[in-house]
Amino acid sequence: MDKPFAITLGAGSSHANKTGAWRTERPVYVDRLPPCNHACPAGENIQHWLSLAEEPSYEAAWRQIMLDNPFPAVMGRVCYRPCESACNRGQLDEAVGINSVERFLGDQAIEHGWTVPVTAQPSGKRVLVVGAGPAGLSAAYHLTLLGHAVTVIDSGSAPGGMMRFGIPRYRLPRHVLDAEIQRILDMGVTLELGRTVTDLAEAMRGFDAAFLAVGAHIGRRAYLPAGDSARILDAVSVLRDVADGPAPLLGRRVVVYDGGNTAMDAARTAKRLGAADAVVVYRRTRDRMPAHDSEVAEASEEGVRMKWLSTIAHADGERVVIERMRLDETGFPQPTGEFEELAADSVVLALGQEADLSLLAGLPGIKVEGGIVKVGPGMMTGCPGVFAGGDMVPAERTVTVAVGHGKKAARHIDAWLRGGAHRPPPRHPMAGFDLLNTWYYSDAPATVRPKLDLARRMSTFDEVEGGLEESTALFEARRCLSCGNCFECDNCYGVCPDNAVLKLGPGLRYEIDLDFCKGCGLCVSECPAGAIEMVPEVT
Partner 1 sequence: MPAPRTKFYQVGSFAVGNRLLPPEQRAVQAAPDRGNALTSGHRACRGCGEALGARYAIDAAIRATGGRMIAVNATGCLEVFSTPYPETAWQVSWIHSLFGNAPAVATGVAAALKAKGRTDVRVVGQGGDGGTVDIGFACLSGMFERGDDVLYICYDNQAYMNTGVQRSGATPPAARTATTPVPGGNAFGQGKNAPLIAMAHEIPYVATATVADLRDLEYKVRRAMDFRGARYLHILVPCPLGWVTDACDTIRVARLATESGLFPVFEAEGGEVTGVTRIRRRIPVDDYLRLQSRYAHLFADPPRTDVIARIQASADRNIRRFGLVD
> Scanning residues 497 to 526, which ones bind partner 1 (CB under 8 A)?
497-500, 503, 505-506, 513, 515-516, 518-522, 524-526
With vertex at residue 444, the alpha carbon angle to CA 441 and CA 449, rounded to the nearest 5 degrees, is: 140
By beta-carbon proximity to partner 1, the closer residue of 59 and 488 is 488
By beta-carbon proximity to partner 1, the closer residue of 178 and 513 is 513
Tell me if 431 sits within 8 A of 34, measured CB to CB: yes
Listed in order, strand segments (DSSP E) in 385-476 are 386-388
In one letter, which amino acid is 385? Answer: G
Q: Which of 494, 511, 535, 537 touches partner 1 by CB under 8 A?
A: 494
Of 157, 48, 162, the C-alpha closest to 428 is 48
Binding flag, residue 90, partner 1 (CB under 8 A): no
> Scanning residues 434 to 463, which ones bind partner 1 (CB under 8 A)?
439-442, 444
Q: What is the DSSP letter of 155?
A: S
| Count of positions on this chain that bind partner 1 (CB under 8 A) | 54
What is the torsion angle, in degrees rounded to the nearest 10, for the CA atoms of residue 243, residue 244, residue 250 and residue 252?
Answer: 50
By beta-carbon proximity to partner 1, the closer residue of 151 and 482 is 482
By beta-carbon proximity to partner 1, the closer residue of 21 and 222 is 21
Q: Give a three-class secondary structure readout of 187-251.
A: CCCEEECCCCCCCHHHHCCCCCEEEECCCCCEECCCCCCECCCCCEEEHHHHHHHHHCCCCCCCC
Shortest separation between residue 525's beta carbon and partner 1, angstroms: 4
Q: What do you get for the CA distance between the two ends of the chain, in Å?
A: 29
Shortest separation between residue 531's beta carbon and partner 1, angstroms: 13
Distance CA 339, CA 5 (A): 103
> Scanning residues 188 to 217, which ones bind partner 1 (CB under 8 A)?
none
Tell me if 75 sits within 8 A of 400, measured CB to CB: yes
Shortest separation between residue 11's beta carbon and partner 1, angstroms: 4
Binding flag, residue 491, partner 1 (CB under 8 A): yes
> Scanning residues 6 to 35, which ones bind partner 1 (CB under 8 A)?
7, 9-19, 22
By beta-carbon proximity to partner 1, the closer residue of 17 and 460 is 17
The SS3 call for residue 270 is helix
Shortest separation between residue 522's beta carbon and partner 1, angstroms: 6
By beta-carbon proximity to partner 1, the closer residue of 4 and 419 is 4
Q: Rule CB under 8 A: which residues touch partner 1?
A: 7, 9-19, 22, 54-55, 439-442, 444, 475, 478-480, 482, 487-491, 493-500, 503, 505-506, 513, 515-516, 518-522, 524-526, 528, 534
